[in-house]
Amino acid sequence: MFLKITNLNKNFETKAGSLAVLKDINIDIEQGEFICAVGASGSGKSTLLRQIAGLDRPTSGDVKIDGKRVTGPGPDRGMVFQHYTLYPWMTVQENAEFGLKMQGVPKKERREQSSYYLSVVGLTDFSKALPSELSGGMKQRAAIARALVSEPKILLMDEPFGALDIHTKEAMHSFMLDLWKRTGITIFMITHDVEEAVFCQIASMPWAHVRVQFAR
């Protein structure tokens, strides 16, 4: 099992008392799967993803990737956030290669690598643009390129297309499917949009489906 979540619980201590957001979550994802999780707003989707990313500690239970327990964030996991998180002072290309830069990859190689993934997401022409000059969909594609550049084992996506219109969203869906088929990457995507989740399923992928149903 590639991603294994066992008996995960997460409580938030608030003024009104302890808020149990995640209750006994068990998820298994195989390598190369494209899994969509659906849940209503406020059901704890982002919270779950943060535990997998290692940005937050579960109250109990654990998350294992490739047999290794997650204890903190790391470049083996790529993440695309619900909100735009590009660095506003960097160009699209600089954003894309920033992860490699921090890992000490030489300049020439990271240029090549980031250029390749910018072409994958169709942003070659905008590699010198600042994030403020991009549309919402382009920003998310740039964020996807940034997450892919370090070729993570798993891509975590938190409602990446939530703010997009239906046409752009559909374009992004087929883009994601295409990307997934070509790279063989494992994707765990979170959405509140059942149609978005079902889309993964009907696109001739019997193993990509609505696996987790959050209840609240």
Ligand X SMILES: Nc1ncnc2c1ncn2[C@@H]1O[C@H](COP(=O)(O)OP(=O)(O)OP(=O)(O)O)[C@@H](O)[C@H]1O
192 binds, among ligand X, another protein, Mg ion, none (CB under 5 to 8 A by kind): ligand X
CA distance 92 to 21: 36
Kind plus residue range of the DSSP H or E element containing 101: helix 92-102
State the greatest distance between any 2 C-alpha atoms of the chain, in Å, as a whole number. Answer: 54
- Interaction site with another protein (CB under 8 A): 53, 55, 72-75, 77-79, 81, 83, 85, 87-89, 98-99, 102-103, 130, 132, 146-147, 150
Q: Which CB, 56 or 151, lies closer to ligand X?
A: 56
Task: Give the 3-state secondary structure of residue 65.
Answer: strand
Question: How many other CB atoms are found less than 10 A from the CB of residue 102?
Answer: 10
Under rule CB under 6 A, residue 39 binds ligand X: yes
The binder of ligand X chosen from 27, 33, 45, 70 (CB under 6 A): 45
Of the pair 98, 117, the CB lying nearest another protein is at 98
CB of 72 to ligand X, least distance (A): 17
Evaluate whether 95 touches 139 at the Cβ level (below 8 Å). Answer: no
How many CB atoms sit inside 10 A of residue 122's CB?
13
Distance of closest approach, residue 86 Cβ to ligand X, in angstroms: 19
Min CB(189)–ligand X separation in Å: 13
Going 71 to 74 to 78 to 79, the CA torsion angle's sign is positive
**Minimum separation from the CB atom of position 127 to Mg ion (A):** 29
Q: Which of residues 143-202 bind ligand X (CB under 6 A)?
A: 192
Answer yes or no whether residue 84 interacts with ligand X by CB under 6 A.
no
Of residues 21 and 177, the one with the C-beta less far from ligand X:
21
Distance CA 21, CA 215 (A): 10
Q: For Mg ion, which residue of 6, 46, 183, 201 counts as binding (CB under 5 A)?
A: 46
Q: Nearest-CA neighbor of 148 among 67, 75, 86, 199?
A: 75
96 lies in the site for ligand X, by CB under 6 A: no
Terminal-to-terminal C-alpha distance of the chain: 27
By CB under 6 A, is residue 41 in contact with ligand X?
A: yes
Residue facing ligand X at closest CB distance: 46
Say how many residues touch Mg ion, by CB under 5 A: 2
For 18, 93, 180, the CA distances from 128, given in Å and listed in that order, are 47, 6, 26
What residue ranges bind ligand X (CB under 6 A)? 12, 14, 19, 21, 39, 41-47, 82, 192
